[in-house]
Amino acid sequence: MRTERTPWFRRYTGRAPSVRLVCFAHAGGTASLFHGWRARLPDHVELLAVQYPGRQDRLREPCAETVEELAEAALDALAPELGLPFALFGHSMGAAVAHEATRLLERRGGARPLRLFVSGRGAQHVIQHQNVPGLTDAEIIASVRELGGPGLAAYDDPDLRGVLLPPLLADHRLLNRYVVAGPQRLRTPISAFGGTDDPVCSMAELDAWRDCTEQWSGAHALPGGHFYLVPEEREIVARIVRQLG
């Protein structure tokens, strides 16, 4: 059954969907990160790419202030979509949001993901000591440039920079405030992915996700840096589809 349109998702529908893949982008990112995935997904997988508030068509909405707030709001929008089995995928900041959403779903009872896919971010209980709440805007921008990624050249355009910077800075503040008490073992299976040359997410940090689930499916390295999933789009989508079955 189709549901009302919501600003929270960009929907890419297969011909006969039997499972939904809900995808969360990086800090400063948008649903557009996953635009190319639709062409690589089989007909039985429907893609819902999460559009965070405060950017693109949601530019006039305030950005979320905490990971918990963002996860809960996304789940509220997702509630009408839970008639089909679903899985969550999150890259970088999106991994934290997708994990927090999974934790919340398990606390609520009822529907939970077939699988949680995390990418480009270590388990929070291992990396939260790296939080630096006092970073200046300039330091945040410099760190983003170091990572590369899609659309980076837009930050050189003064007009576009004024639109892109507020959500980027808000997302980084959100992440630097995020703290968990410790690893909570979820029933949901977790698979982790990362780039072999990612300067901010080591394989050891990625492997620490094993402490967050009763069903660990391993940490998988693909060639590239923090945004390895852009050049390796075909491969990561294929691996996700195989694990969804």
Give residue for tokens 């429907």.
46
Mean residue pLDDT across the chain: 93
What angle in degrees, to the nearest 10, is found between the helix axes of 137-147 and 158-176?
A: 100
If you ran DSSP here, which 8-state letter would residue 215 be given? S
Helices (H) and strands (E) in the chain, counts: 7, 7
C-alpha to C-alpha distance for 235 and 213, rounded to whole angstroms: 24
Q: Phi and psi of 12, rounded to 5°? A: -120, 105
Q: Point out the least confidently predicted range of 86-90, 175-179, 201-205, 206-210.
A: 175-179
- Domain ranges in the chain? 9-244
Check if 92 is active-site.
yes
**Distance in angstroms (rounded) separating the CA atoms of residues 32 and 49:** 8
pLDDT in tens, 172-182: 999 989 999 88
**Residue type, position 231, single letter:** P
In this prediction, residues 109-136 reach a mean pLDDT of 91
What is the maximum span of the chain, computed from C-alpha positions, in angstroms? 48
**Contact predicate 201/194, CB 8 Å:** yes
- In this predicted structure, the answer to whether residue 136 has a pLDDT above a threshold of 50 is yes
pTM of the model: 0.95
- Give me the count of residues in the chain: 245
Active-site residue, selected from the candidate residues 91, 99, 172, 226: 226
Known catalytic residue at 143: no
pLDDT digits (tens, 9 = 90+) for 38-69: 999 999 999 999 999 999 999 999 999 999 99
CA torsion, ordered 22, 105, 101, 11, to nearest 10 deg:
20
Pick the CATH number of 9-244 from 3.40.50.12590, 3.90.950.20, 3.40.50.1820, 1.10.260.40: 3.40.50.1820
- pLDDT tens for each residue of 150-180: 888 888 888 888 898 899 999 999 998 999 9
Please report the sign of the dihedral spanned by the C-alpha atoms of residue 10, residue 78, residue 104, residue 215: negative
Least Cα distance to 50 among 86, 20, 10 occurs for 10
Check 92, 99, 119, 172 and give the catalytic one. 92
